[in-house]
Amino acid sequence: MKHVILLLIISILATMLAFSQAAPSCCATSATEEFGLLAADARFVASHAKPLPFNFAPEKGTWVTFNTSDGTDGRAFEVRADKPTNNVILMVHEWWGLNDYIQQEAEKLQKALGNVTVLALDLYDKKVATTQEDAGKFMSEVKQERAVAIANGAIQYAGKNARIGTIGWCFGGGWSLQASLLAGKQAVACVIYYGMPEKDADRLKTLNAPVLGIFAKQDGWLTPALVGEFEKTMNDIKKPLTMKWYDGVHAFANPSNPKYDKAATEDAYKLTTEFFKKHLLK
């Protein structure tokens, strides 16, 4: 009988050990890494058509590097305001990487707002995808710790007196929210374009910035049901959230997407600039 009990205990311990090794860690189940798992979803990959050819010649933007806590410099495309300013927007690319389209968006947003410096962060560390396979690979390879180090490095680069806004699309939409969380009291405005919301209410309670969420009704991944849970949490903890839904597909605002919705994108962009003017430039 004792032998049977001993075998049973060993079996239970072995099962518990196997489960602990297979179960994701706290970081592996973060909102951003959960989004990264979509790289294994064939439908999600297929929904991102190959970017249309585009070459951008920057007028003001330059590449800069900054220190990070992990010892490897972070990299960003910076578009400075004409005069010194404490207004800074951290921009995060979507799953293709910090390509010419994102550089164009950085210059466009800086020009539209004026008294702001836009810092487009490179979370892929110099890798830019031109195929669906590479985009999925690069997105899934982003480590939470490294991305946090880059975001924190950018916040320190902006300076302790900076008023920080954040914006991102798709993969970068989730990181826009995470960057605002990391910026603490310096964060004053957060824009999410169809990115994975944070689900942890305790983390969201620390959010200082109001949020503008822009999502698509035909998005098969950032669905109304999933995003609705985020809305409910934000309402429950009394955090300011403005939501705008468009009758489009995932990545409808990406001009490299053959399913790009020009009218919806222009309307969303108007909301975005008004939001930043109200909360960042006030």
Q: pLDDT tens, 23-52?
A: 333 333 588 888 999 999 999 998 888 888
Q: What is the pLDDT of residue 256?
A: 77
Q: Which two tokens stand for residue 137?
A: 């690979």
Asked if residue 277 has pLDDT above 60, the reply is yes
Judged by average pLDDT, the poorest of 91-100, 176-185, 192-201, 256-265 is 256-265
Q: What is the pLDDT of residue 35?
A: 93
Q: What is the pLDDT of residue 18?
A: 35
Stretch 211-233: mean pLDDT, rounded?
97
Q: What is the pLDDT of residue 46?
A: 87
If pLDDT is split at 50, 70 and 90, which confidence band does 5 have? very low
Question: Per residue in 118-130, is it b (16+ CB within 10 Å) or e — as a string?
Answer: bbbbbbbbeebbe
Q: What is the pLDDT of residue 26?
A: 35
Nearest residue to 162 (alpha-carbon basis) of 225, 83, 89, 224: 89
Look up the pTM and report it: 0.89
Q: What is the pLDDT of residue 157?
A: 98
Q: What is the pLDDT of residue 47?
A: 86
Judged by average pLDDT, the poorest of 10-19, 133-142, 239-248 is 10-19
Residues counted in the chain:
282
If pLDDT is split at 50, 70 and 90, which confidence band does 53 have? confident
Q: What is the pLDDT of residue 135?
A: 96
Distance CA 43, CA 39 (A): 9
Distance CA 121, CA 188 (A): 18
Residue % of the chain over a pLDDT of 70: 90
Asked if residue 2 has pLDDT above 90, the reply is no
Angle formed at CA 173 by CA 37 and CA 112, multiple of 5 degrees: 155
- What is the set of domains in the chain, with CATH numbers? 26-279 (3.40.50.1820)
Residue type, 67: N
Residue % of the chain over a pLDDT of 90: 80
Chain mean pLDDT for the chain: 90
Residue of 258 and 159 predicted with greater confidence: 159
Q: What is the pLDDT of residue 50?
A: 83
Q: What is the pLDDT of residue 104?
A: 96
Q: What is the pLDDT of residue 14?
A: 39
Tokens 């490179």, located at residue? 122
